[in-house]
Amino acid sequence: MKIALIGYGKMGKTIERIALERGHEIVSVIDIENVEDFESDAFKSAEVAIEFTAPHVAVSNIRSAFKAGVPVVSGTTGWGNEMPHVQKEIEANGYTLFWASNFSLGVNIFMAINKQLAHIMNRFPEYNVQMTEVHHTQKLDAPSGTAITLAEGIIENLDRKSGWHLETENNSSDIAIKAIREGQVPGIHTIRYESSVDSIEITHDAKSREGFALGAVVAAEFTAGKKGMLGMQDLLKF
């Protein structure tokens, strides 16, 4: 399969290596210094583009790929407020976007467990829930997109929670998400339910970028030839 890369940092380079190992061809690499290559024949020849960049340029990158007729797999978070507008464009024009806050298989299993635990804990109001996420210092958004997705999974299943707030609870219906940025941590997410007598805690601890990169390449393989808005639920079918 012909793949274009949008963003060539540590994640982009890891995706490139895994894609080549799986027999794919990298036909174009776009980074800060060559954004004009969105209009190149090489980029337009791609069957799918994989985009890992920064929140302030993600939407522009996605739209440039759409204009070139190339489906996109994106793992950039922090631009959720613009997602509804992009979804309308996808529906109106027949574009293709596979977006996920986290492409790791382990994280997506963790997300499924998180929803089930919240469903169980809905019966036990004496437990309050909070979350901590730890990432490397280069991560620009806080809380992480994965933390927000986890919080949304809790809110869907826990009647006493209706929103989230960074660091502290504004009121009892909020989930407090503590965001820590240190070292080169790929990503740790911990959800803790606590009562006056005990606590229940689940944690996902990523050991490297490998799992995220492999998931992105598998998502690209899945996305090629499809239309519309796609996500990990479509791929994994939990």
Fill in the DSSP letter of residue 38.
G
Taking the C-alpha atoms of residue 135 and residue 106, their distance in angstroms, rounded to an integer, is 17
Fill in the DSSP letter of residue 81.
G
Helix (H, G, I), strand (E, B) or coil at 216: helix
User: Looking at 88, 115, 135, 136, which residue is catalytic?
Assistant: 135
Region of residue 225 (left: phi > 0; alpha: psi -120 to 50; beta: else):
left
CB 133, CB 178: distance < 8 Å:
yes
Q: What angle do CA 228, 229, 230 make, to 5 degrees?
A: 115
Catalytic site residue 161? no
Catalytic site residue 237? no
User: Looking at 24, 139, 161, 189, which residue is catalytic?
Assistant: 139
Phi, psi of 39 (to 5 degrees): -95, 5
* Whole-number Cα distances in Å, 208 to 40, 86, 110, 130, 139: 33, 30, 16, 25, 15
Q: Which residues are catalytic?
A: 135, 139
